[in-house]
Amino acid sequence: MTTKTQLWTTAKGWFRKNQYGKSVGQGLTMLLLILPAVLVVLPMLFLITGSVMGNGELKQYLSPIFAEGTEYISWKLVPDYPTFEHYGKLLFMTPQFFVLFWNSMKMVGCILAGQLLVGVPAAWAFAVYKVKSGRVLFALYVVLMLLPFQVTMLSSYLVLNRLEMLDTPQAVILPAVFSTFPVFLSYGGFRGIPMQLFEAARIDGAKESTIFLRIGLPLGKSGLLSAMVLGFLEYWNMMEQPMAFLEDKALWPLSLYLPEITWSQAGYAFAASVITLIPAVFVFVWGQDYLEQGIIYSGLKE
């Protein structure tokens, strides 16, 4: 009994001692680093190596997929004969790929621009003008933001059908422009601004629109920028909406086209994936602070 307690106290003392505590903490940190690094970097590496691997090599590694055998596929993280032929084929021989790339870009660009024009003023209205009906409306916006696409799919279809917009890019763009998620995120940025600033400007005779443009936007930009970053990653990855509302494959975004590439064109699929990944990675690296801020805003209560 006593030995047990003694052991326990020694152990506790051992952990409490600064140097050991530090090394334990460092070990834990290393583990925290290594685990995600493996889980995140490995899939990325797979895509990149696959995209620079020659066709012969790919066929050799992936052949069990085509043969109904018991052999396993294999992989090498560094290809024996690296080649850029897949990128070449993609960039110079497949104009279709460009069309889809620009489809995606245009769609995301239009959606984000629309959200800025429509959603940000609404967020401003919620944050600054405390009117009675505002609270109810805000609660409604929060609920709408939380509804999944499947619940609103039929209603979107009905209205798009009536407006004769099905199978046009607007079918995907317009419903997304009126999404209430960016309103909520931008609201998070605006409500951090002290109200006295607006009061002071009003007493100095500033118009409401001036206050919005000159004080609100510069000081509350973190909210709308985080809405843009989260929005880009979301809409670059958009699948459900175009799948439901666009029949014409020439209008499809990249995210829908990629899965259509079969294993027999594995190298091409890997190269297309890497190119699809590049804008997302760029936005991620550039906007990581806003991304984090956006996540925090999304978790704020009104």
Partner 1 sequence: MDLQAEEGHGISLKQINVNDELQHKRRYIMRGAGGRRNQSRQSRRSGRSFMLFMAPSFLGVLLFVLLPFLDVWKRSFTTAVTGQFNGIRNYQTIFTNQAFVLAVKNTLRFTAVCIPILVVAGLIIALPLSKLQNAGLVKSLYLFPLAMPTATIVIVWKMFFYKQGLLNLFLTQLGEWTGLWGEIHKDYLGSGAAFWVLVFSYVWKNTGYTVVLWLAGILGIPNEFLEAARVDGASGGQIFFRIVLPNLKGSLYTIVILSFLNSFKIYREAYLVAGAYPEQDIYLLQHLFNNWFVNLDFDKMAAAAVCVGGFLFAVIMLLQHLWDRDEA
Q: Please list every residue from 160 through 189 that binds partner 1, using CB under 8 A.
A: 174-175, 177-178, 180, 183
Contacts to partner 1 from residues 245-264, by CB under 8 A: 254-256, 258-259
How far is C-alpha 191 from the geometric centre of its chain's CA atoms?
A: 24
Which are the contacts of 79, defined by CB distance < 8 A and separation ≥ 6?
49, 52, 53, 54, 57
Nearest Cα residue to 173 out of 118, 115, 111: 111
Q: Minimum CB separation from partner 1 for residue 107, in Å? A: 13
Q: Which of residues 13-52 bind partner 1 (CB under 8 A)?
A: 25, 28-29, 32-33, 36-37, 39-40, 43-44, 46-47, 50
Interface segment toward partner 1; rule CB under 8 A; list 1-9, 82-90, 94-102, 239-247: 239-247
Here the tokens at position 62 are 């992936």
Helices 288-298 and 221-236, packing angle to 10 deg: 100
In the complex, least distance from residue 40 CB atom to partner 1, rounded to whole angstroms:
5
CB of 85 to partner 1, least distance (A): 18
Binder among 100, 173, 269, 271 for partner 1 (CB under 8 A): 269
Q: Encoding tokens for residue 165?
A: 């917009």
* Cβ-based nearer residue to partner 1, 85 or 208: 208
Structure token pair of residue 93 = 């021989």
The answer to whether residue 213 forms part of the interface with partner 1 (CB under 8 A) is no
Q: Measured from the CB atom, is 23 or 74 closer to partner 1?
A: 74
Alpha helix stretches (DSSP H) within the chain: 2-16, 18-51, 55-62, 85-88, 95-128, 132-146, 149-162, 170-177, 181-190, 195-203, 208-210, 217-219, 221-236, 240-245, 254-257, 266-286, 288-298
Separation between Cα atoms, residue 53 and residue 23, nearest integer Å = 42
Binding to partner 1 by residue 148, rule CB under 8 A? yes
Closer by beta carbon to partner 1, 71 or else 93: 71
Question: Does residue 98 interact with partner 1 by CB under 8 A?
Answer: no
Residue 280 sits in the site that holds partner 1 (CB under 8 A) = yes
Task: Determine, following the binding rule CB under 8 A, whether residue 270 of this chain makes contact with partner 1.
Answer: yes
Does 212 contact partner 1 by CB under 8 A? yes
